[in-house]
Amino acid sequence: MNAKIKYTDEPLGKTQVVTDFLPSPSELAFREEGIKVTLALSKKSLEFFKTEASKHHTQYQRMIRRLLDAYVDAQAPTLRSSGSRQKRSAP
């Protein structure tokens, strides 16, 4: 990395404008409302998340929350379609 980089004014060739795909600052600042719950996990599950969280320098609770959110997002089409079912009338 000690070699000097030599910059020139060479033509760049064909360039392409990339549309803005980054989230806005307001989207980045958004924080979803959290609700505290008490949950009993198996020892092996908790140890797994604690170990992985330590490897990735994050909190194990955050990893569990993101896993659950990802599951809900994946199930969203199923949840929406089941909500359109008609309720059965009482006998």
- Please state the pTM of the whole predicted model: 0.54
Under the banding of pLDDT at 50, 70 and 90, the label for residue 24 is confident
Amino acid found at 61: Q
Give the Cα-Cα-Cα angle 40, 53, 57 (nearest 5 degrees): 145
Boundaries of every domain in the chain: 40-82
- For the stretch 53-75, pLDDT in tens is 999 999 999 999 999 988 988 88
